[in-house]
A = this chain, B = another copy of it.
Amino acid sequence: MKLDRLLGFRFKETPSDCQIASHILMTRGGYIKNVGSGIFSLYPPAKRIAQKIERIMREEMDAIGGQEVMFPVAMPAALWKESGRFESVGSELLRFSDRAGADMVLGMTHEEAVVHLARGAAQSYAQYPFMVYQIQTKFRDEPRARGGLIRTREFTMKDGYSFHTSQEDLEEYYQKAYQAYVNIFRRCGIPEVVSVRSDSGMMGGKVAHEFMLVTDVGEDYLAICGECGFAANMEVAETVVENAPREDRPLEKVHTPDIKTIDGLCGFLGIAPEQTCKAVIYQKASDGALVVIFIRGDLEVNEVKLRNLLGEEAHPALNAEEVLPCGFIGPLGLPRGLTTIFDRSLRGAKNLATGACEADWHYTGFSPERDVAGIACSDVAKIQEGGVCPQCGKPAIGLKRGVEVGNIFQLGTKYTKAMNMTYLDQNGKPQYPIMGCYGIGTGRLMASVCEARHDAYGPVWPMSIAPWQVEICALRAQEPGVAAAADALYAALESAGIEVLYDDRKVSAGVMFSDADLLGVPVRAIISPKTLERGVVELKTRDKTLQKEIALEHAAQEIAALVKELMKQGGYHNA
């Protein structure tokens, strides 16, 4: 298409409300327009990229037997009441009433809808396994929409759901879906996406993986082993703590006036934080009951692990000092009836300092396994930079930030049981199908590719998802010969089936090239009075790996061949 007809505009200034590269460049490049908090309209270039991403997702889902369906955006709350999520999910689930006063929700995920569609339609074991997916708008009332398309409230998502008659079959299919996801990210031009074990959160189920693009703008933290390649979301990464061998010492009560912090205690006693046992106090969301966690003084509590251990949400305690001598809490002398948790970092630890449960007093010489009868330890600590890898055992854990670009879950029977979906097995006995689910957000993936593939001047779109494949820049198109040559090249490329953006505006080379940089088209063909003098077209790739002159007479064939080559190579020259 001609650039002068393209709806949208490009500009130089960084918008004040944009912090990250993809948000800045996609706003400056005329891709997106903010309509409200976390809500965007897409201009044609972004819509074109989205459609290419969605075509790749469709192809990969179809290749693993997926059947495309469509669920509603607005659903009766009754469905979500069946699964129990109408109550259990927080205010990110948008609830409203229709004109008749009926409770409704906006779909943020479609487990309920797929069970509603599939139950009754797959009543014999012979119909299993199957997978259905949709690509549809979702709404999640995020409290903190941010980063342009990285975290929006309304978004388009490919969500797939598989149904199985055994855990083994789910696991086998899960591997196929995993591989399809790897293919999708590779084909979209970000093969560096890593998969990590993750928490299944509100989805239910046990095994889950997130696909993460490692980038400083990510909101998630990943624990990645520099030795063996182990990778997990920090939320679920097992924390392995080794306690240096030390001798037991007798318990001794020490007067520590007004010393309420680990730092203060370490300074006062001349010890390191790992020689202390810290108390951290949480409160259960359900009834406000206090939960006291004891953990080695140099470590932090991982709230996701805590939630999974408790089986419910918990938050840092409010007003615990009304009940407990905060700053001086320890495992010995604690009031009865409190829920207490000992972190695994206390296993094998000896001779620690800890609170005496009395204002201004601590103990030294505390050995948890000696001094606490029947102690049981759980893993509730955050994994740390330089920590021990739970896979290879080497102290090589590095923490990185990442954006979650996709996730897959083994859901189990949570939804089929709650919504009473059954099939008859080979013995004619009713059984609950076992589910998996598989999600990728189109917009977040697009923005993530932009995060991974841009320079200071704009996005560097991979050929596979670029809004156009070739941009023709006709400089000084009003001078004799330029328009004719550029028009002819445009026509020849279009008739070869190449997607061409054609810029013949009467603007300076500076404006034309900075616009081209912002639109990020992978191949650029420049025609000007100067190139025509030499009978050539200047050919460049947006990623700067190629720059050469080619004969005008063969330009169309050569460019078409280059496009084809780049499509094959996953989008990049010399990739």
A residues whose Cβ falls under 8 Å from a Cβ of B = 1, 4-9, 30, 33, 35-37, 39-44, 46-48, 50-51, 65, 67-76, 78-79, 91-92, 94, 96-100, 102, 104, 106, 113, 116-118, 120-122, 126-127, 130, 132, 134, 136-137, 139, 141, 143, 153-154, 156
**Minimum C-beta distance from A511 to chain B (A):** 15
**5 additional A-B residue pairs with CB within 8 Å, beyond A6-B67, A36-B104, A41-B71:** A7-B122, A9-B121, A35-B76, A35-B116, A73-B154
Asked if B154 contacts A41 (CB within 8 A), the reply is no
Q: Can you report 29 residue pairs joining A to B where beta carbons are below 8 Å apart?
A: A1-B67, A7-B69, A7-B117, A7-B132, A30-B121, A35-B79, A36-B72, A36-B76, A36-B102, A39-B72, A39-B76, A41-B71, A41-B117, A43-B69, A43-B117, A44-B67, A44-B68, A46-B70, A47-B69, A47-B134, A72-B154, A74-B94, A74-B153, A91-B99, A94-B96, A94-B99, A98-B141, A98-B153, A99-B143
Candidates B42, B47, B78; contact of A36 at CB < 8 Å: B78
Task: Please name the 7 residue pairs, one residue from A and one from B, whose CB atoms are nearest each other, closest first.
Answer: A96-B96, A36-B76, A42-B70, A44-B67, A91-B99, A99-B141, A41-B117
Among A42, A43, A72, the most chain B Cβ lie within 10 Å of the Cβ of A72
Closest to A42 in B: B70
Q: How many angstroms from the CA of A44 to the CA of B69 in the assembled complex?
A: 5
CB distance from A494 to the nearest CB of B (A): 13
A70: chain B residues at CB < 8 Å are 41-42, 46-47, 50, 156
**Which of B30, B98, B117, B130 is within 8 Å of A5, CB to CB?**
B130
| Docked pose: A141 CA to B39 CA in angstroms | 22
- Residue among B7, B100, B113 making CB contact with A121, cutoff 8 Å: B7
Bound Cα distance from A116 to B34, whole angstroms: 9
Across the interface, name the chain B residue whose C-beta is closest to A50.
B70
> Which residue of B is nearest A123, CB measured?
B9
Nearest-CB distance from A46 to chain B (Å)?
8
Q: Are B4 and A41 interface neighbours, CB within 8 A?
A: no
Output the least CB separation between A32 and chain B (Å).
10
When distances are taken between beta carbons in the complex, the residues of chain B under 8 Å from A143 are: 99
Contacts of A121 in B (CB 8 A): 7-9, 30, 43
* Assembled-state Cα–Cα distance A105/B502 (Å): 38
* CB-CB nearest in chain B for A33: B117
A68–B46 CA distance with the chains assembled, in angstroms: 10
Nearest to A143 among chain B residues (CB) is B99
Q: Is A7 within 8 A of B44, CB to CB?
A: no
List the B side residues contacting A72 at CB < 8 Å: 35-36, 39-41, 154
**With A44-B68, A69-B47 as contacts: A74 and B39 at CB distance below 8 Å:** yes
Contact A127 B4 (CB under 8 A): yes
Please indicate the chain B residues that have their CB under 8 angstroms from the CB of A98 in the complex. 94, 141, 153
Alpha-carbon distance A512/B99, docked complex (angstroms)? 44
Shortest distance between the CB of A422 and any CB in chain B (Å): 15
Residues from chain B with a CB closer than 8 A to the CB of A33 are 116-117
Return chain B residues, CB-CB under 8 Å to A35.
71-72, 75-76, 79, 113, 116
Chain B residue contacts of A67, Cβ below 8 A: 1, 5-7, 44
Whether B47 contacts A106 by the Cβ 8 Å rule is: no
| Cα-based distance from A30 to B117 in the complex (angstroms) | 10
Residue of B nearest to A73 (CB): B137
> Assuming the A-B contacts A35-B79, A120-B9, A154-B74, are A69 and B41 also in contact, with contact meaning beta carbons closer than 8 angstroms in the complex?
yes
Given B4, B30, B79, B118, which contacts A7 in the complex, CB threshold below 8 Å? B118
A117–B40 CA distance with the chains assembled, in angstroms: 10
In the docked arrangement, what's the CA distance between A70 and B48, Å?
10
Tell me the minimal C-beta distance from A100 to chain B in angstroms.
8
Looking across the interface, which residue of chain B has its beta carbon closest to that of A92? B99
Q: How far is the CB of A136 from chain B (nearest CB, A)?
A: 7
Tell me the complex Cα distance, A73–B42, Å: 12
